[in-house]
Structure 1
Amino acid sequence: MAFGFISNTRAGIDLGTANILVFVQGQGIVVNEPSVVARHNRDDAIVAVGAEARMMQGRTPGALSIIRPMRQGVIADYLTTEAMMRYFIGVVTGRFNLIRPEIMVTVPAGVT
């Protein structure tokens, strides 16, 4: 019998300029969301990620910024990209996980 909170998750993340894809072994692509983050200007707190953040684009008050942390296949905003990845890894692995997941992240071949 396998328990979800102790099983080892193996996943691959494709950080794209337009979308982030997360593939989980045995399940296929489980996340296909826009690479967009809504961040509060005052304290840099993440308000929304992915499709929810994209829906806020053009409709946000001045206190929020909509950010695309990837530009031309390269990480343009490291901290925001890290927060976005942490969010989607949490979506895939769940909140409580005793064993760390094995994650592989793709990068373009020409990135220096």
Structure 2
Amino acid sequence: MGLGLNIGIDLGTATVLIYVEGRGVVLREPSVVAVNTRTGRVLAVGERASLMLGRTPDIVKAVRPLREGVISDFQVTEIMLKEFIGRVNTGFLGRYFKPTIVVSVPGVITPVEQKAVEDACRHAGAREVFLIREPIASAIGAGIDITQASGSMIIDIGGGTTDIAVISLCRPVVDASTKVAGDKFDEAIIRYIRRRH
């Protein structure tokens, strides 16, 4: 690849995870950015933004720049990625070399959505960007040998999407994605509790 770090990013609707080759998972932060609504200035990213919620004046708004597994606010996503990548791309390599990034995307994604993810990563400081479908990444992470001719069914429930795929010979034979996922589960539980109590 190159002299820069090799970084894997799970760019989730609810949480961003960053893996650095040789170091493991080095960052796990909420996909939240706190923005001053009057000036448009970003005040905090990730956990710090999440902690500000409800404790600041009304002019501070929490923005979740990803909706249903894809980028809904390009500029805020770019700022969030730049902050997170900057936190992990440190030291000698980080100072002089841009990282190579592999980022997971939903199993079913449009070319426009793919380009938005690639562009956001490049603008945030990546030298090269590679995309991997979340069901493939989940299978590899679970230790499944995806090179086999037999099929393995993967169900990946995230915050914004649920991806379902049958994988054989390193490719999805069948795949589908639905916008019913963790966020919708949370909303249903909250509605139920409010009705009952």
TM value normalised by structure 1: 0.87
Q: Distance in 1 between matches of 2:9 and 2:39?
A: 28
2:10 is the counterpart of 1:17: no
Q: How many residues align?
A: 106
* Post-superposition offset of 1:62: 2.0
Aligned to 2:107: 109
* Post-superposition offset of 1:109: 1.7
* Post-superposition offset of 1:59: 1.8
What SS is found at the alignment partner of 2:78? helix
Higher helix share: 2
Aligned to 2:95: 97
Aligned to 2:43: 47
Q: Distance in 2 between matches of 1:76 and 1:58?
A: 23
Q: Distance in 2 between matches of 1:80 and 1:49?
A: 10
Q: Distance in 1 between matches of 2:95 and 2:39?
A: 29
* Post-superposition offset of 1:16: 0.3
Task: Specify every segment of 5 or more residues in structure 2 that has no aligned partner in the other structure, as ranges.
Answer: 111-197
2:75 is the counterpart of 1:75: no
What SS is found at the alignment partner of 2:43? strand
Q: Distance in 2 between matches of 1:90 and 1:33?
A: 14
* Post-superposition offset of 1:33: 0.6
Q: Distance in 1 between matches of 2:90 and 2:83?
A: 10
Q: Distance in 2 between matches of 1:76 and 1:99?
A: 29
Q: Structure 1: which 4+ aligned runs deviate by more than 6 Å?
A: none
The one-character-per-residue Cα deviations of 1:20-49 (angstroms, maximum 9, x if unpaired) are 000000000000110000011122221111
Q: Which structure has the higher relative contact order (CA within 8 Å, separation 6+)?
A: 1
Identical positions, percent: 45
